[in-house]
Amino acid sequence: MDDEEFQRRVDAGEFVEWAWVSKHRYGTLRSEVDKCLARNASVVLEIDVQGALNVRNIYPDAVLIFIEPPSFEELERRLRARGTEDDEAIRVRLETARHEMELAGEYDVRIVNDDIDRATRELLETLHRYES
């Protein structure tokens, strides 16, 4: 949708969550989530902490899963190893990550991504545990 339509929907409270990402707005429409829930289907959203906390306000039974790096230093190492962003972009991402990691305690489940196989297993086990 264009910016005008997006803003109209934001103003009307039609989004469960939305955010600016790289000069673009992305969001999750409440109507789409409600359609899935009406079918008794689970909804998985990959969103930032602010969005997740907004989801919790609208859907108090939502299960929030925080996937975190083993350490802040490891996160920085991983970002730099990618070689896809300049120093300023990495600085901003690390600043955001530091703030988000401070809010991880608000989540129901925390998974440390130090071993991809174990973290994946733990995520799948968590999803199965909370299935309706």
Q: Is residue 53 part of a domain?
A: no
Residues 72 and 123 in one domain: yes
What is residue 10's DSSP assignment?
Answer: H
Domain of 67, in residue numbers: 63-132
Residue 70 and residue 120 share a domain: yes
Q: How do residues 47-75 score in pLDDT, each as one tens digit?
A: 999 899 999 999 999 999 999 999 999 99
How far apart are alpha carbons 93 and 90 in whole angstroms? Answer: 5
What was the pLDDT predicted at 20?
84
**β-bridge pairing 24-29 and 15-21:** antiparallel
Q: What total number of domains does the chain contain?
A: 2
| pLDDT confidence bin for 132, thresholds 50/70/90 | low
Element (H, E) at 119: helix 116-129
The answer to whether residues 77 and 125 belong to one domain is yes
